[in-house]
Chain A
Amino acid sequence: EDQVTQSPEALRLQEGESSSLNCSYTVSGLRGLFWYRQDPGKGPEFLFTLYSAGEEKEKERLKATLTKKESFLHITAPKPEDSATYLCAAGGTSYGKLTFGQGTILTVHP
Protein backbone atom coordinates (compact mmCIF):
# COMPACT_ATOMS: atom_id res chain seq x y z
CA GLU A 1 0.00 0.00 0.00
CA ASP A 2 1.29 3.43 -0.96
CA GLN A 3 2.16 5.65 2.00
CA VAL A 4 3.18 9.29 2.33
CA THR A 5 4.32 10.81 5.61
CA GLN A 6 5.00 14.48 6.19
CA SER A 7 6.93 16.14 8.99
CA PRO A 8 6.70 18.23 11.00
CA GLU A 9 2.93 18.45 11.50
CA ALA A 10 3.27 22.14 12.26
CA LEU A 11 6.07 24.63 11.85
CA ARG A 12 6.29 28.16 13.19
CA LEU A 13 8.87 30.47 11.69
CA GLN A 14 9.84 34.07 12.03
CA GLU A 15 9.77 36.09 8.86
CA GLY A 16 13.06 35.53 7.08
CA GLU A 17 13.85 32.30 8.93
CA SER A 18 14.52 29.62 6.31
CA SER A 19 13.53 25.99 6.90
CA SER A 20 12.54 22.73 5.20
CA LEU A 21 9.49 20.48 5.16
CA ASN A 22 9.92 16.74 4.73
CA CYS A 23 7.87 14.20 2.79
CA SER A 24 8.76 10.51 3.03
CA TYR A 25 7.10 8.13 0.65
CA THR A 26 6.69 4.44 -0.04
CA VAL A 27 5.11 4.05 -3.43
CA SER A 28 5.18 1.29 -6.01
CA GLY A 29 6.27 2.69 -9.31
CA LEU A 30 6.44 6.37 -8.45
CA ARG A 31 5.29 8.42 -11.42
CA GLY A 32 5.45 11.78 -9.72
CA LEU A 33 5.79 13.52 -6.37
CA PHE A 34 3.55 16.55 -6.00
CA TRP A 35 3.62 19.55 -3.69
CA TYR A 36 0.57 21.68 -3.06
CA ARG A 37 -0.30 24.67 -0.98
CA GLN A 38 -3.73 24.77 0.66
CA ASP A 39 -5.28 27.81 2.27
CA PRO A 40 -8.20 27.38 4.69
CA GLY A 41 -11.46 26.59 2.92
CA LYS A 42 -9.86 26.24 -0.49
CA GLY A 43 -8.71 23.45 -2.75
CA PRO A 44 -5.03 22.55 -3.10
CA GLU A 45 -2.99 24.90 -5.26
CA PHE A 46 -0.42 23.15 -7.42
CA LEU A 47 3.21 24.04 -6.73
CA PHE A 48 5.54 21.41 -8.17
CA THR A 49 5.80 17.96 -9.69
CA LEU A 50 9.04 16.02 -9.38
CA TYR A 51 9.54 12.89 -11.47
CA SER A 52 12.97 11.46 -10.69
CA ALA A 53 15.56 11.39 -7.92
CA GLY A 54 17.89 14.35 -8.09
CA GLU A 55 15.33 16.62 -9.69
CA GLU A 56 14.87 20.11 -8.25
CA LYS A 57 12.31 22.81 -8.99
CA GLU A 58 12.04 26.37 -7.76
CA LYS A 59 9.31 28.96 -7.54
CA GLU A 60 9.92 32.25 -5.79
CA ARG A 61 10.93 31.38 -2.20
CA LEU A 62 10.18 27.67 -2.58
CA LYS A 63 12.45 24.90 -3.79
CA ALA A 64 11.47 21.25 -4.01
CA THR A 65 13.92 18.37 -4.19
CA LEU A 66 13.49 14.63 -4.59
CA THR A 67 15.44 11.53 -3.56
CA LYS A 68 14.46 7.90 -3.90
CA LYS A 69 12.75 7.91 -0.49
CA GLU A 70 11.83 11.48 0.32
CA SER A 71 11.19 14.98 -0.90
CA PHE A 72 11.96 18.30 0.72
CA LEU A 73 10.28 21.64 0.33
CA HIS A 74 12.78 24.34 1.22
CA ILE A 75 11.44 27.75 2.12
CA THR A 76 13.94 30.58 1.90
CA ALA A 77 13.35 33.83 3.79
CA PRO A 78 9.62 33.17 4.25
CA LYS A 79 7.04 35.91 4.51
CA PRO A 80 3.75 35.89 6.46
CA GLU A 81 1.86 35.31 3.20
CA ASP A 82 3.61 31.94 2.90
CA SER A 83 1.55 30.74 5.86
CA ALA A 84 -0.59 27.80 4.71
CA THR A 85 -0.81 24.03 4.83
CA TYR A 86 1.65 22.36 2.49
CA LEU A 87 0.61 18.99 1.14
CA CYS A 88 2.77 16.35 -0.43
CA ALA A 89 1.25 13.66 -2.65
CA ALA A 90 2.62 10.69 -4.56
CA GLY A 91 1.33 9.31 -7.82
CA GLY A 92 1.81 5.58 -8.24
CA THR A 93 0.84 3.03 -10.83
CA SER A 94 -2.81 4.14 -11.03
CA TYR A 95 -2.74 7.11 -13.36
CA GLY A 96 -3.95 10.30 -11.76
CA LYS A 97 -4.61 8.73 -8.37
CA LEU A 98 -2.68 10.50 -5.63
CA THR A 99 -1.87 9.45 -2.09
CA PHE A 100 -1.59 12.45 0.19
CA GLY A 101 0.43 13.05 3.31
CA GLN A 102 -1.16 14.65 6.35
CA GLY A 103 0.27 18.05 5.54
CA THR A 104 2.48 20.55 7.35
CA ILE A 105 0.84 23.64 8.76
CA LEU A 106 3.28 26.50 8.26
CA THR A 107 2.88 29.74 10.19
CA VAL A 108 5.23 32.63 9.48
CA HIS A 109 5.20 35.40 12.04
CA PRO A 110 6.14 38.97 11.04
Chain B
Amino acid sequence: GAVVSQHPSWVICKSGTSVKIECRSLDFQATTMFWYRQFPKQSLMLMATSNEGSKATYEQGVEKDKFLINHASLTLSTLTVTSAHPEDSSFYICSAYPPEAFFGQGTRLTVV
Protein backbone atom coordinates (compact mmCIF):
# COMPACT_ATOMS: atom_id res chain seq x y z
CA GLY B 1 0.00 0.00 0.00
CA ALA B 2 0.89 3.66 -0.16
CA VAL B 3 3.41 4.94 2.35
CA VAL B 4 2.93 8.08 4.37
CA SER B 5 5.82 9.14 6.57
CA GLN B 6 5.79 11.57 9.46
CA HIS B 7 8.73 13.22 11.10
CA PRO B 8 9.59 13.42 13.90
CA SER B 9 7.98 10.45 15.66
CA TRP B 10 8.18 12.27 18.94
CA VAL B 11 9.25 15.71 20.11
CA ILE B 12 9.52 17.51 23.41
CA CYS B 13 9.53 21.29 23.41
CA LYS B 14 9.40 24.10 25.90
CA SER B 15 6.26 26.11 26.42
CA GLY B 16 6.17 29.13 24.12
CA THR B 17 8.28 27.64 21.36
CA SER B 18 7.13 26.42 17.95
CA VAL B 19 7.34 22.90 16.58
CA LYS B 20 7.12 21.73 12.98
CA ILE B 21 5.83 18.29 11.99
CA GLU B 22 6.33 16.96 8.46
CA CYS B 23 4.09 14.59 6.56
CA ARG B 24 5.39 13.07 3.34
CA SER B 25 3.85 10.78 0.77
CA LEU B 26 6.74 8.57 -0.27
CA ASP B 27 5.52 6.73 -3.33
CA PHE B 28 2.61 8.78 -4.64
CA GLN B 29 1.48 12.36 -5.10
CA ALA B 30 -1.01 13.66 -2.59
CA THR B 31 -3.21 16.52 -3.69
CA THR B 32 -4.82 16.62 -0.26
CA MET B 33 -3.51 15.79 3.18
CA PHE B 34 -5.42 15.66 6.42
CA TRP B 35 -4.21 16.42 9.92
CA TYR B 36 -5.74 14.68 12.92
CA ARG B 37 -5.24 14.97 16.63
CA GLN B 38 -5.68 12.16 19.11
CA PHE B 39 -5.85 12.47 22.89
CA PRO B 40 -5.12 9.47 25.11
CA LYS B 41 -7.74 6.76 24.83
CA GLN B 42 -9.75 8.84 22.40
CA SER B 43 -10.34 8.57 18.68
CA LEU B 44 -8.96 10.72 15.90
CA MET B 45 -10.37 14.20 15.48
CA LEU B 46 -9.86 15.98 12.18
CA MET B 47 -8.09 19.30 12.59
CA ALA B 48 -7.66 20.53 9.05
CA THR B 49 -7.60 19.66 5.38
CA SER B 50 -4.49 20.69 3.48
CA ASN B 51 -4.61 21.18 -0.30
CA GLU B 52 -1.47 21.55 -2.37
CA GLY B 53 -0.91 25.15 -3.35
CA SER B 54 -3.82 26.63 -1.44
CA LYS B 55 -4.83 27.56 2.08
CA ALA B 56 -5.79 24.87 4.53
CA THR B 57 -9.37 24.40 5.65
CA TYR B 58 -9.71 24.15 9.43
CA GLU B 59 -12.40 22.34 11.37
CA GLN B 60 -14.58 24.29 13.73
CA GLY B 61 -12.81 25.08 16.98
CA VAL B 62 -9.29 24.66 15.61
CA GLU B 63 -7.17 27.80 15.88
CA LYS B 64 -5.65 28.47 12.48
CA ASP B 65 -3.10 30.89 13.91
CA LYS B 66 -1.85 28.28 16.36
CA PHE B 67 -1.77 25.35 13.95
CA LEU B 68 -0.15 26.58 10.75
CA ILE B 69 -0.40 24.21 7.81
CA ASN B 70 1.60 24.43 4.62
CA HIS B 71 1.24 22.12 1.64
CA ALA B 72 3.90 23.41 -0.71
CA SER B 73 4.30 20.30 -2.86
CA LEU B 74 2.42 17.16 -3.84
CA THR B 75 4.50 15.09 -1.45
CA LEU B 76 4.90 17.30 1.62
CA SER B 77 2.63 18.99 4.12
CA THR B 78 3.79 20.55 7.36
CA LEU B 79 1.99 21.35 10.57
CA THR B 80 3.57 23.99 12.79
CA VAL B 81 2.33 24.32 16.34
CA THR B 82 3.12 27.91 17.28
CA SER B 83 3.67 29.19 20.80
CA ALA B 84 3.05 25.71 22.13
CA HIS B 85 1.49 25.21 25.55
CA PRO B 86 1.13 22.06 27.65
CA GLU B 87 -2.47 21.66 26.50
CA ASP B 88 -1.18 21.23 22.94
CA SER B 89 0.51 18.01 24.01
CA SER B 90 -1.09 15.29 21.96
CA PHE B 91 -0.60 12.70 19.23
CA TYR B 92 -0.75 14.28 15.75
CA ILE B 93 -1.39 12.09 12.72
CA CYS B 94 -1.57 12.90 9.02
CA SER B 95 -3.16 11.09 6.12
CA ALA B 96 -2.78 11.65 2.41
CA TYR B 97 -5.30 11.60 -0.43
CA PRO B 98 -5.35 9.97 -2.86
CA PRO B 99 -5.40 7.29 -1.73
CA GLU B 100 -7.37 8.27 1.31
CA ALA B 101 -6.93 5.22 3.45
CA PHE B 102 -3.31 5.54 4.57
CA PHE B 103 -1.93 7.29 7.61
CA GLY B 104 1.46 8.31 8.86
CA GLN B 105 2.90 6.77 12.00
CA GLY B 106 2.04 9.80 14.10
CA THR B 107 4.01 12.37 16.09
CA ARG B 108 3.88 12.49 19.87
CA LEU B 109 4.23 16.12 20.99
CA THR B 110 4.96 16.88 24.61
CA VAL B 111 5.12 20.51 25.71
CA VAL B 112 6.84 21.12 29.01
Binding site for B on A (CB under 8 A): 32, 34, 36, 41-46, 49, 87, 89, 91, 94-103
B28-49 toward A: CB 8 Å interface, digit per residue (1/0)? 0000101000000011111001
Q: What number of residue pairs across chains A and B have CB atoms under 8 A from each other?
A: 55
Ranked 5 nearest A-B pairs via Cβ: A96-B97, A96-B100, A43-B106, A43-B103, A43-B105
Q: How far is the CA of A89 from the CA of B101 in the complex (A)?
A: 10
Q: Is B98 located at the chain interface by the 8 A CB criterion?
A: yes
| Minimal Cβ-Cβ distance residue in A for B36 | A100
Kindly list chain B residues whose C-beta atoms are within 8 Å of the C-beta of A100.
43-45
**Would A98 and B105 be within 8 Å (CB), given that A43-B6, A46-B1, A103-B43 are in contact?**
no
Chain B residues whose CB sits within 8 angstroms of the CB of A103 once the complex forms: 43
Can you spell out 28 A-B residue pairs with CB atoms less than 8 angstroms apart?
A: A32-B101, A34-B101, A36-B103, A41-B91, A41-B106, A41-B108, A43-B93, A43-B105, A44-B44, A44-B93, A46-B101, A46-B102, A46-B103, A89-B44, A91-B100, A95-B32, A96-B100, A97-B49, A98-B44, A98-B46, A98-B95, A99-B46, A100-B43, A100-B44, A100-B45, A102-B42, A102-B43, A103-B43
